[in-house]
Amino acid sequence: MKRGYLFFILLVCLIGCSNEDPISTDVGLNYFPLQTGDSWIYTVEETTINQTVTASTAYELSVTVTDSVKNSDGKYTYTFHRAKRMTESDSWESFGTWTAMVSRNQLIQREGNILFVKLIFPLSDGLTWNGNQFNNLPNMGNLFTGKGSEVYHTSEYDQSKNLTTTLEFDKTITIIHNEFVDPIVGKDVRKEVYARDVGLIYKEVTQLEYCSVGNCLGQQKVDKGVIMIQTLKSYASK
């Protein structure tokens, strides 16, 4: 009788376990899909300011995953070929290559010769990490140094986003690279937005240094700076 009772209890437990929801394995890797043949086309608007001289340019940027190489640890490094053209009727001109790979819980991208930790996993709201962990830029390469510009953080996890190019996405995540704003000194605001199963859909860089001498002090008159907006226009997955 005792043995039969124990068997009954065990059977109930097994049935109960089989009815439980499966444990989620979603860590957000599909926010930066890596697959040879995938491609993206962006519109890019750039404005540079140098005292009284303002120059603006617009072009299209093409990014294609052209190759993947297996590393010694069994993971893959993917090569992104970049090209640009001024208008749709122009031919694409090579704009160099970047690479990306997932190492442990980090998505690491090499932009030129500089490594950046673009994402960490599992993704969620409120994550923070050192985006410059593998380079020497914590206090360099930014408009304003010493402002914590190496600390990235996530925002608006799995939120919908509509782009000016009319593309719409149900689930996106915003990565804030810097959000320094000072009414006297200037601003250094940088962020990237990624969409599930698509990748990077939007990038913004606004770095403005205000005039801080004489009558222009506190007037937010830009002495020098740059504004860059990169917006996804189309994409294709193999």
Q: Tokens for 184, please give them.
A: 């006297």
Q: Tokens for 72, please give them.
A: 């010694």
Quickly tell me which residue has 């993206």 as its tokens: 40
Query: In whole angstroms, how far apart are CA 214 and each of 7, 88, 217, 221?
Result: 87, 46, 6, 12
What pLDDT digit, counting tens, does each position of 81-122 carry? 999 999 999 999 999 999 999 998 999 999 999 999 999 999
What pLDDT digit, counting tens, does each position of 22-42 carry? 444 589 999 999 999 999 999
Q: Tokens for 5, please give them.
A: 């009772």
Quickly tell me which residue has 């065990």 as its tokens: 10
pLDDT range class, residue 218, cuts 50, 70, 90: confident
Burial class (CB in 10 A: 0-12, 13-18, 19+), 115: middle
pLDDT of 1 strictly over 70:
no
Query: String of b and e for 56-90 (b: at least 16 CB within 10 Å)?
Result: eeebbbbbbbeebeeeeeeeebbbbbebbbeeeee
121-124 long-range contacts, Cβ below 8 Å, gap at least 24? 121/27, 121/28, 121/29, 122/26, 122/27, 122/28, 123/27, 123/28, 123/31, 123/154, 123/157, 123/173, 124/28, 124/154, 124/157
pTM of the model: 0.86
CB 92 within 8 A of CB 85: yes
pLDDT at 74: 86
Q: Tokens for 166, please give them.
A: 């009319």
Q: For 130-152, what is the mean pLDDT?
A: 69
Name the residue among 93, 72, 74 with its Cα closest to residue 82.
93
